[in-house]
Structure 1
Amino acid sequence: MDFRDGLYNHWGWVLVVSSFIITIPLHGIEYSYNSLMVWFQDEFQASKSETGLAGTIAIGLLSLSSPLSFFLLEFVSTRTVILLGVAMCSTGLFASSFVPSLPYLYFTYGVLYGIGSNFTHVPALALIIKYFPKKHTVSSTCIAQLGASIGVIALPSIVETLFGQLGWRMSMRIFAGVMLLTGTLGIVFVPPTVVEERRQSKAMEALKDCEKSKEAMLEKQGLELIQLDLPQKSFVRRYIDFMSQMKFWVTELLFFVMALGVTMSLTNIGSFLSETSLSEDKQVLVLSVMGIGDLVARVFVSAAVERLPFSRTTYFSIACLIAGVPFFFLVVASDSVVLLISLLLLINFGRGSLFGMIVSVGVEVFGAENSDESTTSVFFAFGLGGLFAAPVGGAISDATGSYVATFYFCGSLCILAFIIATVLAKMRRNAKSKLYEGSTESPIVYTFPGISSGPEVYETYITTV
């Protein structure tokens, strides 16, 4: 086997590595908005809720525009959508460096970068699932998103150094160039059928010759080979049918509540730290530690979750608790670096687990055959929750004058998400149990008289899914 054949045989992992590299700047910039927010707030002299809105729009549209990206996939290839997204992200960052006031940033960074990040990220994950529909679903999708953790770890220090020396406007132009450079890896995102055709090019030629021989043989016998082209439902039609399930709405509620809780922390912790007695160096250290907790969680998910004795949905519910409970102690730990780092490590371990399992939980609940629909639904609900996060969190902190109520609200939402995820895991177990019971019902007996001296009896089991 030569290098090219080996590469084609493992092309799914080529996509995983490429997605990992692309997400380092893509999500590093997006999820580190709490670092950028401090600079924007100082530049435009705006309130926390006003400044945080740009980041919330971007994080929300990262997921909320999933129906649009999957609709585009009906007409163009995954690679085209990804490269379009890269161009939008780079353009959004570059244009953001010229904005004269905050409302322009809502479009350049919030809308343009947010939709571009969706086009770059979500179709890539959907294609990776098609390479790993059953085995390595969790590990492949989680590793593909692991670059986000690297970006979150690196960005606070980069922002502090680069923005301080070159200014935030020039720094944003540099980010735009880096995004464009790494985004060129989007050219490798081709479907499994294309890779298989290239890998089996000789075998495909032999198969075509075989088909020609079959047609010639049938023609001699006066017969005709008929190809049946069954009508394919559009994505919109499939998604409407998909929405008729009760577990669809439970799943939507789960991801909305979870996203509202954990995303709110992303856009408020930076401002919270800036109001504590911690020095700037310690604030940067704490923000970097957030990325470490996220990274450790994603590595754990990719390496261990598929080996756990319970379902992914069950672990997802546990991660909601891990992310939520520390919020109730965060404010009282504001003056202790050690305690603050410990709590943020727990929060971000839970958050990293949740973010890393968004796609795989949807696939587990709805099946790999519905991966496009499930990916759209979970990301849409996640984006909807993220869209409300910063305005709600900022409004709460502005109204109360502190972050106590905001963090209590975040913790309560994560506990509610734990309850919903537990219910969803129970629904999945019940459905699986009914499917098993249905496969052991009494057989339906068919008789075919006249085949032999007596009727031949054939038994079959009917299973309803």
Structure 2
Amino acid sequence: MVCCLNGPISFIKKHWSLVIIFAAMIHCLFFGGFIFSYNLLYLELRKSFNSTATETGVPGAISISLFSWCSVVVTFFFQKLGHRATVFIGVTLCCLGLLTSSFAQQISILYITYGVFYGLGLSLTYVTIIDLIIRNFDKRNATRATCSALTGVSLGLLAAPWIEWLYEKYSWRNTLRIISGCLALVGYSTGLVMIDMKPTHVKLSIACEKYENDKCSGGPICDSSKDGDNIETYTQTHSNKEVYAVEKKMDTKFEVDLIRNKSCIAKYIAVLKRRDFTISLPGILLAATATMFTYISVGNFLFEAGMDNDHIALVIVWMGIGDLTGRIIAAVFSDGLPISRTFQYALSNVVAAAPSVALPFISSSSGLTAALIIMSVPRAILNVLLPSVAMEISSDETRSEAVALIYMAFGAGTFITPYLTDTLFDNTGSYVMPWFICTTLYLISAVFLLLAVYAKRKHERTSIQKYDRVEKDDCEIAKTELK
């Protein structure tokens, strides 16, 4: 019996990255699909609390922005606690947030229960899963892997009619309680597989010591023409026994952990020193502000245009199909295109600006639906390319930190959305100006990303090393703290 199981078990271990992608897709289907269907909850909350458009949009903006903005904090969580434990904590916060939201008597309470609890919980699960995926794939296949996992979000948007039916039949309060139970079942189940069966990262403390040993002995790190020029790549070329022998040289576990924490800060500093990366951050922020308008307030826009809730739910389904199409396009073609992911991100902004500027002039329901479907395609590409863009304009050893900072900028842009768009609607009674502002933001974002592409090419021409490396001085600073 045991012999018969050895084959399937070894096969699963060998292809564990595919197991992670499948579990991530199911996870995103429920958790991501619900948060990005906030347009439907928006209508229910505005009717229940008789709140303004801005007040109603804030809970959704807080939750979506926190799930991105807290990415830097999340990196410390999964580096300290592990990926599985971090996902479990996130699932617990999400379920607690929805459950407590169902008892809220004021819209401001939802800022904490739905906005903070659900947003922070989703950040703990989402960013952790993305990090686990990019750890198992190289840069050539990173976009394909992340897009495949994140198609679950698009599939989740297809459940909009079912969510609307729950709102009508059981009220939004009971619906949140039902969905809370579903998320607990799915979240804890998928979280069980969120472990790295084939680790690719070695503690930086070990890398620093190996760096010093080889530097003193004239080892391969001294030769810039070899892969040893990159600390992480160099340490991975050594056997487990060699790495273990080096790790044994560290006096205590406390010392290892302290150096690792210090080196993590050094990695963030190394990422922010890159000009191409810092130039891209404002572009990511502006694109997030424009993109999230369609996830938060487009339901109210359609309601003001004369559509009923059932029709709006159907439009969201069609937008979900457009979203899924965009993710599939990115998954199939992005890695093979002769242009960089950063340049693809800039082009997607330009494409998204076209339907955005046209929407204020469309009056028919079919025309509005068609324009929103077209917009959903580049919108999805903008969302799924974020990890790949971060990896492209950072080094191999700082990819996790780069992804965290990119999502932090994305979250900051999301938080601005209701104050920039719904506030204008409250003051003017029209969504014409918000659409024009979103168009402008898309185009300015494209300019920033094109500048980042230019800066990256300049960085590659002037850089002596193949990859940026956390400097030896940073390692020495970390160790000095121990003395």
The TM tier, using the shorter chain, reads 0.7 to 0.9
Match of 2:277? 248
Counterpart secondary structure, 2:430:
coil
Name the CA distance, whole Å, in 1 between partners of 2:453 and 2:247: 46
Partner Cα separation in structure 1 for residue 199 and residue 332 of structure 2:
29
TM-score, L = length of structure 1: 0.84
Partner of 1:139: 144
* Structure 2 CA distance for aligned equivalents of residues 149 and 367 of structure 1: 30
Q: Which letter does structure 1 place at the counterpart of 2:170?
A: L
How far apart are 1:151 and its partner, in Å? Answer: 1.0
Query: After superposition, what is the alpha-carbon deviation per residue over 1:353-376, rounded to whole angstroms, capped at 9, x for unaligned?
Result: 010111011101113321111111
Deviations 1:395-438 (A, max 9, x none): 111122200000000111001111111111122223233458x8
Alpha carbons 1:265, 1:410 under 8 Å: kept: no
Residue pair 1:131, 1:192 contacting (<8 A) in 2 also? no
Q: TM-score, normalised by structure 2?
A: 0.81
* Aligned residue in 2 for 1:415: 443
Q: Which moved more, 1:364-373 or 1:379-388?
A: 364-373
- In the alignment, what sits opposite 1:403? 431
Q: What amino acid does structure 2 have at the position aligned with 1:298?
A: R
Structure 1 pair 348/35, CA: closer, same or farther in 2 (3 Å)?
same
SS of corresponding position for 2:393? helix
1:54 aligns with 2:59: yes
Q: Percent identity?
A: 28
- Mapped pair 1:318 → 2:341: no
Give SS of 2:406's match.
Answer: helix
Instruction: Give the letter aligned to residue 433 of structure 1.
Output: R
Contact 1:70 1:376 in 2 (8 A): yes
Matched, 1:358 2:363: no
The answer to which of 51-60 and 1-10 deviates more is 1-10
**Which range moved further: 38-47 or 312-321?**
312-321
Q: CA deviation at 1:167?
A: 1.1
Deviations 1:50-80 (A, max 9, x none): 0110000001101011121112234211111
Which of these residues, 261, 265, 272, is aligned with residue 290 of structure 2? 261
Correspondence list, 1:286-301, <5 A: 286-301=315-330
Would you say 1:153 and 2:181 are equivalent positions?
A: no
1:176 aligns with 2:180: yes
- Provide Cα deviations, 1:30-49, integer angstroms capped at 9, x if missing partner: 11111100000000010000
Q: 1:71 aligns with which of 55, 73, 76?
A: 76
Q: Shift in Å at residue 162 of structure 1?
A: 0.8
Secondary structure, counterpart of 2:80 in structure 1? coil
Change (3 A) 1:11 1:274: same
Residue 16 to residue 271, structure 1, CA distance change in 2 (3 Å): same
Query: Aligned in 2, Cα 1:321/1:91: closer, same or farther, shift over 3 Å?
Result: same
* 2:420 alignment partner, one of 392, 396, 401: 392
Q: 1:194 to 1:277 in 2, by over 3 A?
A: closer
Q: Secondary structure at the match of 2:159?
A: helix
The Cα of 1:227 is off from its aligned counterpart by 5.5
User: Is contact 2:140-2:335 (8 Å) kept?
Assistant: no
2:196 corresponds to which of 186, 191, 195: 191
Tell me the distance in 2 between the aligned counterparts of 1:195 and 1:357: 22
Specify the structure having the higher radius of gyration (Cα): 1
* 8 Å Cα contact 1:22/1:183 also seen in 2: yes
Query: Residue in 1 aligned with 2:314?
Result: 285
Structure 1 gaps, min length 5: 197-206, 216-224, 440-465
Equivalent residue of 2:305, what SS? coil
Q: Report whether the alignment pairs 1:108 with 2:113.
A: yes
Report the equivalent of 1:162: 166
> Which of 319, 325, 334 is the matching residue for 1:305?
334
- By how many angstroms is 1:228 displaced? 4.8
Measured after TM superposition, the shift of residue 340 of structure 1 is: 1.4
Q: Quick one: distance in 2 between partners of 1:330 and 1:286?
A: 14
Letter in 1 for 2:192: I
Distance (whole Å) between structure 2 residues aligned to residue 414 and residue 167 of structure 1: 37
Contact 2:63/2:114, CA 8 A, preserved across alignment:
yes
State the alpha-carbon separation in 1 of the partners of residues 301 and 99 from structure 2: 28
Q: 1:2 to 1:69 in 2, by over 3 A?
A: same
* Aligned-pair CA distance for 1:391: 1.9
Distance 2:291 2:302 in 1: 17
Q: CA deviation at 1:261?
A: 1.1
**Shift in Å, 1:289:** 1.2
Q: Where does residue 442 of structure 1 map in the other structure?
A: none
Q: CA RMSD of the aligned region, Å?
A: 2.2
| Counterparts of 2:247 and 2:397, CA distance in 1 | 27
Alpha-carbon distance between aligned partners in 2 of 1:241 and 1:398, rounded to the nearest angstrom: 43
Looking at structure 1, the residues matched to 306 and 171 of structure 2 have their Cα atoms a distance apart, in angstroms, of: 25
1:274 — aligned with what? 303
Q: Which amino acid aligns with 1:14?
A: V
Amino acid at match of 1:116: G
Residues 195/249 of structure 1: CA separation in 2 closer, same or farther (3 Å cut): closer
Deviation at 1:226, TM superposition (A): 9.9
